[in-house]
Amino acid sequence: MFVCVLVTRPHSHALPAAKAAFQRALHAWYRGQHRRLPWRETPSLYRTVVSEFMLQQTQVKTVLPYFERWVRELPDFAALAAASGTRVLKLWEGLGYYSRARHLHRLARVIAALPAPPRSTEAWRKLPGVGPYTAAAITSLAFGAPAACVDGNVVRVLARLTADGTTFRDSAAAARHFTPLAAVLLQRDDPGPHNQAMMELGALVCRRHHPRCPACPVRRFCAAARRGNPEDYPRFASKKIRRRAVLRAWCEHEGRLLLHRAAAGARRLAGLHELPTPIDLGLNEAVVRATPLLTRKQRGLTNHRITESIHAMVLTAAQRHRLAANPALHWVPLAELDRLTLSGPHRRWIEELLITRNR
Q: Which residues are catalytic?
A: 52
- Report residue 142: phi and psi, to 5°: -90, -30
Nearest to 294 by CA among 309, 273, 276: 309
C-alpha span between 26 and 202 (Å, rounded): 11
C-alpha span between 337 and 222 (Å, rounded): 52
Q: How many helices (H) and strands (E) does the chain have?
A: 19, 8
B/e letters for 129-156, b = 16+ CB within 10 Å, e = fewer, are bbebbbbbbbbbbbbebbbbbbbbbbbb
Q: Are 11 and 164 in contact (CB under 8 A)?
A: yes
Nearest to 97 by CA among 124, 149, 59, 61: 59
Q: Are 245 and 305 in contact (CB under 8 A)?
A: no
C-alpha span between 267 and 302 (Å, rounded): 13
C-alpha span between 279 and 243 (Å, rounded): 19
**Longest pairwise C-alpha distance within the chain:** 86
Query: Other CB atoms closer than 10 Å to residue 164's CB: what's the count?
Result: 21
